[in-house]
Amino acid sequence: MGVANLLENWSKFRHTHPVDDKGHPDWEAYPSDIKWAMAIDLDACTGCNACSVACYAENNLPAVGKEKYGHGHAMHWMRIERYWGEDAGVGQFNADEGARFLPMLCQQCEAAPCETVCPVGATNHTEDGLNSQIYNRCIGSRYCLVNCPYKVRYFNWYDYPTTQDVWPSPMEQQLNPDLTVRGKGVMEKCTFCKQRTYMARNSAKTEGRPVRDGDVMTACQEACPTGAIHFGNLFDPESQVAKMWKTQQVELDKDKQAKDESSDNRLRGYRVLEYLRPYPSVMYMERVRETAV
């Protein structure tokens, strides 16, 4: 480790803005033919929370209990947000209209606001287009959580493995050995089931072929009873996700989509808080409503 090494490899060490600096996602430093992305159909989502539970099971998330949940200490990497009626104010709801559900998870932003502000560089971008969180490096300054516009990062406010009974016996037998259980003071978030994508890529590499669409499903995608969640490689034109993004005319590196809706078919695809330009990798498709908004 030397200053010479830092200077030589500056372009690799330095985190360039993936879109603004290059005009397109910057993969020169990390060439890859994979960009993981999602498309979530809100018309299919019933708010059943199966995805959330599956995520808990797959990723060793601690179920913190009712009191801590009320305090805002929940650890749900995938959370179902409920929004009540168009006219309902905050905290009010019109039960007749029912709730609208938004499964919110880490958007794996291309220009993630969390990545630049970590003082120790515990959150970075991977070569397959994910926003990585390195638990070992995290010192718990929580700047990433402050800067995330979606607030989809979760901090270990207590030491769940050792002091809290969050996996009452025999639940600890169900913990996933493919990934760690995090201690206190560490930030964590959705990884698009990194342990699964990693294994899929390894298998594909062993077999000498590219990763095929359908090789890997995230836990939430697998659990969803209506198939609302679609996950795959955006760079693979044959993948379902790529086709959906294309149909909805949503492009990864735009902060405002220019849609051609001339065929009178209102395209439902959108990304949340796109105008803030984090370039999220999750596309949502609006729920079809009975009346115009």
Partner 1 sequence: MTKDIREDIAWAKINQDVLKSLQTPRPAYWVILFVAFCVFSVGLGCEIYQYNMGMGVSNLDNPHAWGLYIASFIFWIGMSHSGTLLSAILHIMHADWRKPIYRFAEAMTTFSLITAAMFVAVHLGRVWQIYYALPYPNERWAWPNWQSPLLWDAMAVFTYLSSSIIFLYVGMIPDLAICRDNMQSGWRKKLYTLMALGWEGTDRQWRNFRMTYLTVACFLIPLAVSVHSIVSTDFSVSQQPGMHVTSFPPYFVAGALYSGCAAIISLFIILRYVFKFEEYMTLPILRKVVRLTFAIAMVWTYLNCVEFAATWYSHDEAEKAVLIQKAIGPYAPFFWTMIFCGSVVPFAMMVKKWQTNIPIMFAVSLLLNLGMFLERWMIVSPTLSHDYWPWQFDHDQWPSMIQWGIVFGSFGFFVILFMVFCKVFPSVSMYEVKEMVYHRSLQSKKAEAEAAAAEGLVGEELAVKGAN
Based on CB atoms, which residue is closest to partner 1, 10 or 173? 10
Bridging pattern class, strands 99-104 and 282-285: unpaired
Q: Residue 89 Cβ, how far from partner 1 at the closest point, in Å?
A: 9
Do residues 101 and 85 touch, judged by C-beta distance below 8 A?
no
Q: Which residues bind partner 1 (CB under 8 A)?
A: 1, 5-6, 13, 15, 68, 71-74, 81, 83, 90-91, 102, 104, 113, 116-121, 137-143, 145-147, 149-151, 153-159, 163, 184-187, 273, 276
Q: Residue 217 Cβ, how far from partner 1 at the closest point, in Å?
A: 26
Nearest to 166 by CA among 72, 60, 52, 78: 60
Based on CB atoms, which residue is closest to partner 1, 126 or 197? 126
Q: How far apart are CA 190 and CA 77, in angstroms?
A: 5
Based on CB atoms, which residue is closest to partner 1, 70 or 98? 70
Two tokens, residue 271? 């990304």
Based on CB atoms, which residue is closest to partner 1, 44 or 272? 272
Based on CB atoms, which residue is closest to partner 1, 149 or 210? 149
276 Cβ neighbours under 8 A, 6+ residues apart: 113, 149, 255
163 Cβ neighbours under 8 A, 6+ residues apart: none
Q: Residue 265 Cβ, how far from partner 1 at the closest point, in Å?
A: 29
